[in-house]
A = this chain, B = another copy of it.
Amino acid sequence: MESELKRGFLVRQRAFLKLYLLKMIEANKRYGTQFLDDLRTEFKPYGYHPTHSEIYKTLHELTREGWVRREKKLLGEPGVDFQEIIIYHLTDKGKQEYELYRKQMKVEFDRCLGLLNQAMSDHYGPIKRK
Contacts and interface: CB of A to CB of B under 8 A. Distances in A.
Interface in A67-116: 102, 105-106, 109, 111-116
A114 B114 CA distance: 14
Contact of A115 (B9, B48, B105): B48
A45 to B, nearest CB: 7
Contact of A120 (B10, B49, B109): B109
B10 A114 contact: no
B102 A19 contact: no
A7 B123 contact: no
A13 to B, nearest CB: 4
Contacts of A119: 16, 19-20, 109
Contacts of A50: 9
A11 B106 CA distance: 19
Contact of A9 (B48, B111, B113): B48
B123 A102 contact: yes
B106 A123 contact: yes
Contact of A116 (B23, B45, B113): B113
A124 B111 contact: no
